[in-house]
Structure 1
Amino acid sequence: MTEQRRVTEDEHLLDLRHREEWKQKAAWRVMKIQAEFVEGFETLEAADLGAAIGVYGSARTEVDSEEYKLSAELGGKLGEAGYSVITGGGPGAMEAANRGAADAGVTSVGLGVELPFEQGLNPYVDLELNFHYYFVRKVMFLKYSTGFCALPGGFGTMDELFESLTLVQSQKVGSFPIALIGTAYWGGLIDWLRGTMVADGKVHPDDVDQLLVTDDLDEAVAHMDTGRL
């Protein structure tokens, strides 16, 4: 039996096919967006996370893969260093990082988001929030993280990574450390950024230099310490 695709709140808000519905319910949707911000801020402020690292990574990472083991080890090392861990709360690399954090005894946060097909939060999250809107979720990541680690991932990981980079580059936020875990995975991207974007004058070399690309988890964790409050 084929699972029926749900229309998400993001789609109701952004897709022009729902324009008439938006006109009729605009005030109600604005209140709903406001409520998501309030719930997120109140919940995470009350949690008093302290220094926390946002970990990005693919939901498609297989449980029996080396990437999953690497993600779990990263979550554990961050926890041992005294960091709470914040992920998107889903399966794959996110689950692994939450699992490592939970095993280390630190707060393991999952910021879930509504998707067309049910995904649900992984069982290693002990502080959970579910959002209807991606942009609200992004604000929570950026407000409550003192640094970011990006594991191998897809479009979602790239979106979160470049959102962070853009805010730093445009000086909308203070600088925070960003580590890309996996030189084989991320190396081509860095080569393209330097060989194309930097070479063409579209970004400054310093914008790329702020990215640590490494296979050494201890080095990545030490890099996170440069952003500790």
Structure 2
Amino acid sequence: MEIHDPAVLARWLQARKPLAGLRLQDLDLTPCTDALLAVTHAHGLVVLGGVVPTAVGDHLRAAGAVVFPAAPEAPVDVYRGRLYTADELYAGLERGYDATPDARAYRWSRDRRLERDAYATLLRAIHDDSVTDALDEWADGLPVVGVMGGHAADRGSAGYRDAARLGHRLAGAGYVVATGGGPGAMEAANLGAAAADEVRLEDAVRRLAAVPSFLPDVAAWARLALQVRDAVGPATGRTSLGIPTWFYGHEPPNVFAQGVAKYFSNAIREDGLLARATAGVVVMPGAAGTVQEVFQLATRLYYATPATALAPLVLVDPEHWERRLPVAPLLAALGAGRSLGDVVHVVGDVDAAVDVLARTSPPPS
């Protein structure tokens, strides 16, 4: 059992329950010092980072616990027990993007001196596993629809507006919108899901167009978005999730996702996003990265057992997916005679995409 709420730990210790099997994740153990110093048997207890007074750490190790120390050399908390927020990743933005935890984490992840450093590799792996665990808890039981699309759609463009309207319609229909968490169509879909109504969404898109791209100034792009975000919502409940990566340093996270599961490993991030799109995936026009994600999902659907209930894969814009990038014909060939062929849909616009999802994978009422 994992505990990352200090109140839960306090109740557990007060009840004198056994500690074997507990994982204390990113907790400040200082308030529980007396209770923990009274523990005589701690075999099977694992402490993952957090604040551990020296006397408590020494005592728990002597009693049989495993205590992982904090890692102050990492720019982020590798044992975190919750998803990120945009405010956390962009803290210090007033001093420029390079001063933010997001930028520092990217520089650390690409530091050539640490490429073969086993300790740094281990810390990044622990971080990504902690984020996966937090993501599982955040999305548990929710009807998640993945929205894929390129990062190059400028704010105010037709593609950006379409993705924003898609996110808004999906959230309004009861789905949770999950994207790659970056700019372009990803930002737009998260924005649409966060908007309380269409009037505020349209106003947000109009205002954001003043800084159409994160290039060349990430700080200006993010600063305007943070200002607009406060006027967009609030959306009720959990409507929007972003799953970005530091692997692509040129893709800063957008600020509109309610929860941000940011990874060092792009491979884990991509698989995690697709695996959690339990209610389907909608693919907006994109380039190489989007095509890769389509076929990564197609592989899952191709090899699924006949008894598996497959969620729909919906490609928006026949011109793009049938002719400009002929992805749809290849999916049709792969899906012939298999369940994959029954769940791939090519539609003309985002409204038709939502209609397909509502018909084939409706959210629970």
TM-score bracket relative to the smaller structure: 0.7 to 0.9
CA–CA separation in structure 1 for the residues paired with 2:321 and 2:156: 22
Unaligned runs of 5+ in 2: 1-97, 99-105, 197-234
Q: Counterpart in 2 of 1:218? A: 351
Q: Counterpart in 2 of 1:103? A: 195
Structure 1 residue 30 displacement after superposition: 4.6
CA–CA separation in structure 1 for the residues paired with 2:248 and 2:327: 32
SS at match of 2:244: strand
Q: Amino acid of the residue matched to residue 56 of structure 1?
A: M
Q: Counterpart in 2 of 1:122? A: 254
Q: 1:120 to 1:129 in 2, by over 3 A?
A: same
Unaligned runs of 5+ in 1: 13-17
**Please, which of 109, 131, 136 is the counterpart of residue 268 of structure 2?**
136
CA contact (8 A) 2:328 2:346 kept: no
Q: 1:10 to 1:213 in 2, by over 3 A?
A: farther
Q: Counterpart in 1 of 2:299? A: 166
Equivalences for residues 182-201 of structure 1 within 5 A? 182-188=317-323, 189-190=326-327, 192-193=329-330, 198=333
SS at match of 1:32: helix
CA contact (8 A) 1:49 1:107 kept: no
Structure 1 residue 48 displacement after superposition: 4.4
SS at match of 1:54: strand
CA contact (8 A) 1:71 1:97 kept: yes
SS at match of 2:281: strand
**Please, which of 151, 155, 162 is the counterpart of residue 59 of structure 1?**
151
CA–CA separation in structure 2 for the residues paired with 1:71 and 1:107: 15
Structure 1 residue 61 displacement after superposition: 0.5
CA–CA separation in structure 2 for the residues paired with 1:154 and 1:190: 11
Q: TM-score, normalised to structure 2's length?
A: 0.51
CA–CA separation in structure 2 for the residues paired with 1:111 and 1:139: 10
Structure 1 residue 210 displacement after superposition: 2.7
1:36 is aligned to 2:128: yes
1:112 is aligned to 2:112: no
Q: Counterpart in 1 of 2:63? A: none
1:152 is aligned to 2:308: no
1:145-196 deviation per Cα after TM superposition (whole angstroms, max 9, x unaligned): 12100001111111111111101111177521110011111122156427xx
Count of aligned pairs: 212
SS at match of 1:212: strand
CA–CA separation in structure 2 for the residues paired with 1:49 and 1:10: 35
Q: Counterpart in 1 of 2:184? A: 92
Q: Counterpart in 2 of 1:73? A: 165
Structure 1 residue 209 displacement after superposition: 4.8
Q: 1:193 to 1:208 in 2, by over 3 A?
A: farther
CA–CA separation in structure 1 for the residues paired with 2:288 and 2:274: 18
Higher helix share: 1
CA–CA separation in structure 2 for the residues paired with 1:224 and 1:71: 15
Q: 1:148 to 1:10 in 2, by over 3 A?
A: farther
SS at match of 2:195: helix
CA contact (8 A) 2:281 2:313 kept: yes
- Bigger Cα displacement from structure 2, 27-36 vs 77-86: 27-36
CA contact (8 A) 1:7 1:116 kept: no
1:45 is aligned to 2:180: no
CA–CA separation in structure 2 for the residues paired with 1:44 and 1:65: 34
Q: 1:190 to 1:158 in 2, by over 3 A?
A: closer
1:123-143 deviation per Cα after TM superposition (whole angstroms, max 9, x unaligned): 212211211101111232123
Relative contact order (C-alpha < 8 Å, sep 6+): which is higher? Answer: 1
CA–CA separation in structure 2 for the residues paired with 1:32 and 1:53: 28
1:185-225 deviation per Cα after TM superposition (whole angstroms, max 9, x unaligned): 1122156427xx83xxx663544453111113233113223
1:37-86 deviation per Cα after TM superposition (whole angstroms, max 9, x unaligned): 23222244135461011100010011121111111110011011001111
CA root-mean-square deviation? 3.1
Q: Amino acid of the residue matched to residue 193 of structure 1?
A: L
Moved over 4 A (4+): 6-12
What percentage of residue pairs aligned between the two structures are identical? Answer: 28
- Bigger Cα displacement from structure 2, 70-79 vs 139-148: 139-148
Q: Amino acid of the residue matched to residue 150 of structure 2?
A: S
Q: 1:49 to 1:90 in 2, by over 3 A?
A: farther
Q: 1:72 to 1:11 in 2, by over 3 A?
A: same
